[in-house]
Amino acid sequence: MTRDDAAYRIMAHMIPFFPDYDASVQVASALIDGGASYLEIQFPYSDPTADGPAIQGACATALDRGFTVSEGWRFVRDLTARTPVPVFVMSYAGLVYAHEVQRFVKTAADAGVSGLIVPDLPVDSDEGLFAAAADAGVHAVPVIAMGAGESRLRLIESVGAEYVYASLRRGTTGSHTEIGPENSAFVDRLARSGARVLAGFGIATREQVRAVLDHAHAAVVGSAFVRAIGENPTAPADPVRRLCARLSGIG
């Protein structure tokens, strides 16, 4: 079974070195086997201000277990070498800037990365991220939150990104999100520009995935996998594969 059999397009989030390096390699395989259409690899940062408790805790563990940016690239290179599933790397401005934006983008491209998601480098304070990504042939993915004003939406559209990441509610990752008329209309609004909308924040069930995919290109699932790994730290692969398969509809 692969993503080609998936009924629902999932962008599955994971963190290298959570709960440790070897287990996180298995988690990546489990997500691929579970039918993930995209992988979002979060590079842990000491101060993840957009993340809720589940991902914060996982990032702290990953840093304790030895995550470094160069280890992160090793993880990604190994991953892109063994799967055709597109890999997106997510991190924070602090880490990307410390490794120099141009160099970070170039390294990502060389590692076979399809896209980069850096929520606190928005399009008008991006430190050259979007231009560098265009040069390197990598998608820079703007993140847009529910409640953004029309002028911000137009500004973000003006960069002509092929993918946009929509936060389906305010706040941080992980707590439950009701999919209703308001956030559905928000996704529709984004999709009208022609961008592929990756919609997430608090998506954990098949019902939510189904509701989101009536409007979005893919549903992003993050904290739900982190929690599944946290509950089974010594053997996370099976529960992660089962959860992913249930959400993607191949199992």
Partner 1 sequence: MNSGFFGAFGGRYVAEVLRGPLDELDLAFQEASRDATFWEEFHRIGAEYVGRPTPLLFAENSTRELGGARLYIKLEGLANTGAHKINNAVGQALLARRMGKHRIIAETGAGQHGLATAAICAKLGLECTVYMGEVDINRQRPNVYLMEVFGATVVPVASGSRTLKDAVNEALRDWAGSYDTTHYIIGSALGPSPYPDMVREFQSVIGQEVVRQLSEREVTPTAMVACVGGGSNAIGFFAPYLEREAPRLIGVEAGGRGPEPGQHAARLNGLGRTGIVQGYKSLFLLDDDGQVSHTHSVSAGLDYPGVGPQLAWLGEQGRIEFRTATDEQALEAVQFFARNEGVVFALESAHGGYQAMQLARSLSSNDAVVVNMSGRGDKDLFITARELMPETWHEFLVSEATSIAASLEEGRSR
Alpha-carbon distances of 227 from 7, 109, 247, rounded to whole Å:
23, 30, 15
Interface with partner 1, residue 103, by CB under 8 A: no
Please report which residue ranges of the chain form alpha helices under DSSP H.
Answer: 21-33, 53-64, 69-82, 93-98, 101-110, 129-136, 150-157, 181-191, 206-213, 223-231, 237-248
Among 122, 230, 239, 249, binds partner 1 (CB under 8 A): 122
Gap between the Cα atoms of 191 and 151, Å rounded: 16
**3-class DSSP state of 174:** coil
Contact region with partner 1 (CB under 8 A), list: 82-90, 107-115, 123-131, 204-212: 123-131
Residue (82 or 176) nearer to partner 1, CB: 176
- Report how far residue 33's alpha carbon sits from residue 37's, in angstroms, rounded to the nearest whole number: 10
For residues 34-53, which are near partner 1 according to CB under 8 A?
45-53
Per CB under 8 A, contacts with partner 1 among 191-250 are none
Which residue in 25, 69, 109, 191 binds partner 1 (CB under 8 A)?
69
Q: Is residue 105 at the binding interface for partner 1, with CB under 8 A as the rule?
A: no
**Counting contacts by CB under 8 A, is residue 137 touching partner 1?**
no
> Phi/psi at 206 (nearest 5 deg)?
-65, -35
Q: Which residues bind partner 1 (CB under 8 A)?
A: 45-53, 56-57, 60, 63, 68-69, 93-95, 97-99, 119-122, 124-125, 127, 142-149, 152, 156, 167, 169-172
